[in-house]
Amino acid sequence: MMSPFGKSQMRKKAVKVAPIAALLTLLLIIHLYSSSSSSTTSTTTTSDHKLSQTRATADKLIKSAAECDIFTGQWVRNPEGPYYTNETCNRIQEHQNCMKFGRPDTEYLRWKWKPDGCDLPLFRPDLFLELVRGKSLAFVGDSVARNHMQSLLCLLSKVARPEETAEPSGKQIWFRYKEYDFNICLFWAPYLVKTGSLDTTTGRPFDLYLDEVDETWSSQVAQFNFVVISAGHWFFRPSYFHINGTRSGCVYCPEPYEDIEHLLPSFIYRRAFHTAFSSINSAPGYNGVTFVRTLSPSHFEGGTFDNHGNCLRMSPVKRDEAELEEREAEFHKIQLEELGIARKAEKVNGGRFEMFDATMSLLLRPDGHPSKYGSPPGVKLVMRYDCVHWCLPGPIDAWNDFLQELLRREIQDN
Ligand SMILES: *[C@@H]1O[C@H](CO)[C@@H](O)[C@H](O)[C@H]1NC(C)=O
Ligand SMILES: *[C@@H]1O[C@H](CO)[C@@H](O)[C@H](O)[C@H]1NC(C)=O
């Protein structure tokens, strides 16, 4: 049985689509009329037939644009790309500036995402900024969230440049597009929950407080219309986790098994998302939309990240040629499950959760990482070949095609 909520949603959609459908059909009629009147051979019957055929196509297109699953698809050639370079955008993080550091091939820049059931419109900075006029958008997550946000800033840089203000802690950076009254804020919170020091040079496992959210972002979340939240690879690092104020166990820590409970990363990943989503659901006054951006896959081949693994491919792979690493697949599953739980939880203020299932698109792009082109030659890094982040410009730009469509659905279809 259909819930009343589902029914009213469907009705709403049908109502919205109707005027567009009428307009498109009208345009098609005008087009067909002018082409059939200029053609002496066409008869009324064939043009009638053509008309109904084209109408059916238009109906299908409208339906697919509004309801299509944009996340299932493949990469197709796009000779027009890229839409910015390391010269036109000054927001590229050094470690993702593959052009600057001499990546020699350019084929990886000439693809776009094609969902199975429809076309995904390419990002249009002018239209995007009109769409989000008067709105605010937060990115919450780790360096891949920053990677995604910098791609957005670069795509927008053709049309507008924001004013930037960073908190001294570096946990919060604001970008204000004054002429559009549009703000972006990046909250650096790789675990989403409260942590101890995340100094990677000490070699000590990090302290994670799994039932306490990171206040920096959570105390401000209510002021945003849209939030893109994500987390990923930090959860594979050694950590101690605390629950209810007590150190309760660890992940990949050096202590003997007798001394402390050892659990897998999936345990802390689930708890962290649960805590983060609960805090959003109960944030006073929050009525925005939270997009759960799913795991960004890494592509180390021939070894692990610290042991000769590298990413040397120069073109996308087909769907049947790629498979998520087991523990990444587990994370992806956990994200979808926690999204489902968050959706069911009571939302006092009308805030909502939506899926931003970015995983499959970039799973098919082993060619999109910096590898050794994320730093000048000779620099010693923990991760010698970066097969986690994404070159800018690069395939992660397509996530902003997704973002544009997701926001269009929220703003225009509602
Ligand atoms: C951009 O990349 C080119 C190499 O493709 C390099 O010569 C140039 O210095 C880079 N410019 C900036 C601003 O990074
Ligand atoms: C949490 O700790 C307090 C004492 O600090 C205790 O009373 C309570 O039962 C604990 N709750 C859970 C769920 O373990």
159 and 288 in a single domain? The answer is yes
Does residue 11 form part of some domain?
no
Do 103 and 378 meet the contact criterion of CB atoms below 8 Å apart? Answer: no
Ligand 1 site, residue 100, Cβ cutoff 6 A: yes
| Residue 227 sits in the same domain as residue 324 | yes
Task: Identify whether the C-beta of residue 315 lies closer than 8 Å to the C-beta of residue 251.
Answer: no
Domain membership flag for residue 137? yes
Which of 244, 247, 248, when mutated, tests ligand 2's pocket best, judged by the most ligand atoms within 8 Å of its CB?
244
Q: Does residue 175 lie in a domain region?
A: yes
Q: Whose CA is nearest to atom 7 of ligand 1?
A: 100
56 & 86 share domain: no
Q: Which of 67, 87, 104 is the last residue of a domain?
A: 67
- Residues 202 and 253 grouped into a single domain: yes
* Residue 260 · residue 239 · CB < 8 Å: no
For ligand 2, atom 13: residue with the closest CA: 244
- Do 54 and 111 lie in one domain? The reply is no
Q: Report which protein residue has its CA nearest ligand 1's atom 4.
A: 100
Whether residue 60 is found in the same domain as residue 134: no
Does residue 246's CB lie within 6 angstroms of at least one atom of ligand 2? no
Strand partners, 279: none
86 lines ligand 1 (CB under 6 A): yes
Distance CA 153, CA 397 (A): 10
* CB burial string 36-62: b at 16+ within 10 A, e below: beeeeeeeeeebeeebeebbeebeeeb
> Does residue 369 carry a catalytic annotation?
no
pLDDT tens per residue, range 284-337: 999 999 999 999 999 999 988 888 899 999 999 999 999 999 999 999 999 999
pLDDT of residue 55: 54
- 59 shares its domain with 82: no
- CB of residue 201 inside a 6 A radius of ligand 2: no
* Interval 342-354: pLDDT, tens: 999 877 778 999 9
**Residue 413: what pLDDT?**
79
145 to each of 9, 85, 128, 151, 363, how far by Cα in Å?
A: 31, 20, 19, 10, 16
Go through 281-295 and write b for each residue having 16 or more CB atoms within 10 A of its CB, e for each that does not: bbbeebebbbbbbbb
State whether 51 and 149 are in the same domain.
Answer: no
Domain co-membership, 256 together with 202: yes
For residue 43, what pLDDT is reported? 39
User: Structure pTM?
Assistant: 0.84
Specify whether the CB–CB gap between 271 and 212 falls below 8 A. Answer: no
Q: Is residue 5 part of a domain?
A: no
Same domain for 298 and 343?
yes
State how beta strands 206-213 and 111-115 pair.
unpaired
Report how far ligand 1's centroid is from the alpha carbon of 377 (Å).
Answer: 15
As a whole number of angstroms, the distance between CA 67 and CA 70 comes to 9
Using alpha carbons, select from 230, 248, 344, 246 the residue that is nearest to residue 297. Answer: 230
Kindly give the distance from the C-alpha atom of residue 99 to the centroid of ligand 1, in angstroms, as a whole number: 6
Asked if residue 37 and residue 134 are part of one domain, the reply reads no
Cα angle, residue 159 at apex, residues 155 and 164 outer, rounded to 5°: 75
In angstroms, rounded to a whole number, what is the distance separating the alpha carbons of residues 363 and 98?
A: 19
> Can you read off the two tokens belonging to residue 76?
């197709």
244 lines ligand 2 (CB under 6 A): yes
Distance CA 145, CA 231 (A): 8
Residues 135, 208 within the same domain: yes
CATH number of the domain to which 378 belongs: 3.40.50.1110
- What's the pLDDT at 169? 87
Catalytic residue among 148, 389, 397, 401: 389
Residue 239 lies inside a defined structural domain of this protein: yes
The tens place of each residue's pLDDT in the chain, 414 residues long, gives 333 333 333 333 333 333 444 444 334 333 333 333 333 333 344 455 555 665 555 555 444 456 799 999 999 999 999 999 999 999 998 889 999 999 999 999 999 999 999 999 999 999 999 999 999 999 999 999 999 999 999 999 999 999 999 998 889 999 999 999 999 999 999 999 999 999 988 989 999 999 999 999 999 999 999 999 999 999 999 999 999 999 999 999 999 999 999 999 999 999 999 999 999 999 999 999 999 999 999 999 998 888 889 999 999 999 999 999 999 999 999 999 999 999 998 777 789 999 999 999 999 999 999 999 998 887 777 778 999 999 999 999 999 999 999 999 999 876
Residue 38 a catalytic site member: no
Number of domains in the chain: 2
Residue 91 maps to a domain: yes
Q: Among 36, 136, 143, 298, which one carries the catalytic annotation?
A: 143
Closest ligand 1 atom number to CA of residue 90: 13
Nearest ligand 1 atom to the CA of 85 is: 1
Contact in structure between 399 and 361 (CB atoms under 8 Å): yes
Residue type, 357: D
Residue 246 lies in a domain: yes
Residue 26 domain boundaries: 17-67
Is 1 domain-assigned?
no
Mark whether 375 is an active-site residue.
no
